[in-house]
């Protein structure tokens, strides 16, 4: 019985070691140019460039001397925020600053 299990283990592990050659990789095509009407917001921190439309109003929000987020207000639209959550320059769009986390407000005890 042990020999059968050892033989079965060797057969199944040999399939893991049998490798197929890697597929032929092709280079990526050149990305298209940005659409017309986009401009780069004026930023002074680390040469960060934020593409926005010409008519959008961009307001930096500072926290401790650093730009932590941008408030972008399109004309006739609702404002949204660009937030750098990791600090490495990857700006993510958020429609509100609400994180969705809130403390429970259940009443446990009452003192009369």
What was the pLDDT predicted at 52? 66
* Residue predicted with more confidence, 39 or 28: 28
More confident residue, 70 or 34: 70
Cβ neighbors of 80 (< 8 A, separation 6 or more) are 71, 72, 93, 94, 95
For the chain, how many helices (H) and strands (E)?
A: 1, 6
71 domain residue, yes or no: yes
Q: What is the pTM of this model?
A: 0.43
Structurally, the chain folds into a number of domains equal to 1
Residue 103 inside a domain? The answer is: no
On the question of pLDDT at 69 being above 80, the answer is: yes
Per-residue pLDDT at 45: 46
Q: Is the pLDDT of residue 63 over 50?
A: yes
For residues 21 and 110, the model is more confident at 110
User: Is residue 62 assigned to a domain?
Assistant: yes
Query: Does 15 reside within a domain?
Result: no
DSSP state of 95: S
2 within a domain of the structure (yes/no): no
Residue 41's pLDDT band (cuts 50, 70, 90)? very low
């Amino acid at each position: 019985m042990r020999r059968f299990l050892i033989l079965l283990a060797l057969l199944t592990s040999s399939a893991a070691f049998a490798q197929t050659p890697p597929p032929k990789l092709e280079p990526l095509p050149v990305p298209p140019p940005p659409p017309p009407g986009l401009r780069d917001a004026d930023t002074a921190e680390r040469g960060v460039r934020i593409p926005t439309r010409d008519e959008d109003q961009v307001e930096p929000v500072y926290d401790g001397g650093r730009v932590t987020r941008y408030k972008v207000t399109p004309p006739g639209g609702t404002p949204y925020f660009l937030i750098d959550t990791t600090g490495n320059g990857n700006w993510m769009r958020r429609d509100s600053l609400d994180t969705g986390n809130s403390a429970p407000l259940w009443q446990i005890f009452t003192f009369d």
